[in-house]
């Protein structure tokens, strides 16, 4: 079994913001699957399927807000007895140019509070990191905490759907095929 986690913030006001690109990536991956349900124990929207990547997969969107994502992810990982190599976390990265993907089998938080929370709760950096670059030319003019809550431009939206999200799917397939 694999655990695929998209990071973001719950609520309509955050839906299409840069900080929620992790939520949007898992929505893309699961678009032809059954509906999400709220798991109150993990405080996550969850979807369990055997059809995604031909593996039993639990996909979650923590509803704890970004900075507390580790609580939900650690709960689900413990429940399913999953180690880091079976956990894939997808999230935004302000330090990477828009559309750049970085896939690593482990790594530090590099200042990302959601990842700090996950590392703290899992007690390891040893899980798959899929970072999606969100930086643009507006980044230097806007404080980071404001920039990550902005929406993508129309051109960026098109690139997310047509290029970036399909590339993430390919990267996850590679991860699963490695094991």
Catalytic residues: 19
Q: Give the up-direction half-sphere exposure of residue 42: CA atoms within 13 A in the CB hemisphere.
A: 25
Task: Please provide the DSSP assignment of 36-95 as one string.
Answer: -EEETTTTEEEEEESSGGGS-EEEEEESS-GGGHHHHHHHHHHHTT--GGGEEEEEEEEE
Task: Please provide the DSSP assignment of 113-178 as one string.
Answer: HHHHHHHHHHT-S-SEEEEEEEE-TTGGGS-HHHHTTSBPPHHHHHHIIIIIHHHHHHHHHHHHHH
Q: Identify the burial level of 148 via C-beta atoms within 10 angstroms of its C-beta, where 0-12 means exposed, 13-18 middle and 19 or more buried.
A: buried
Q: Give the up-direction half-sphere exposure of residue 117: CA atoms within 13 A in the CB hemisphere.
A: 20
């Amino acid at each position: 079994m694999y655990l695929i986690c998209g990071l973001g913030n719950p609520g309509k006001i955050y839906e299409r913001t840069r900080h929620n690109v992790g939520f949007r990536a898992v929505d893309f991956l699961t678009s032809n699957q059954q509906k999400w349900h709220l798991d109150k124990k993990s405080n996550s929207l969850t979807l369990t399927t055997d059809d995604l990547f031909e593996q039993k997969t639990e996909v979650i969107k923590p509803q704890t807000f970004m900075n507390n994502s580790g609580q939900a992810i650690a709960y689900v990982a413990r429940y399913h007895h999953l180690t880091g190599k079976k956990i894939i976390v997808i999230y935004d990265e302000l330090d990477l140019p828009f559309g750049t993907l970085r896939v690593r089998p482990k790594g530090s938080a590099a200042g990302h509070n959601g990842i700090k929370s996950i590392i703290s709760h899992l007690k390891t950096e040893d899980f798959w990191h899929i970072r999606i670059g969100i930086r643009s030319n507006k980044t230097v003019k806007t404080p980071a905490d404001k920039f990550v809550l902005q929406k993508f431009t129309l051109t960026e939206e098109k690139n997310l759907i047509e290029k970036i999200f399909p590339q993430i799917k390919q990267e996850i397939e590679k991860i699963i095929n490695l094991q």
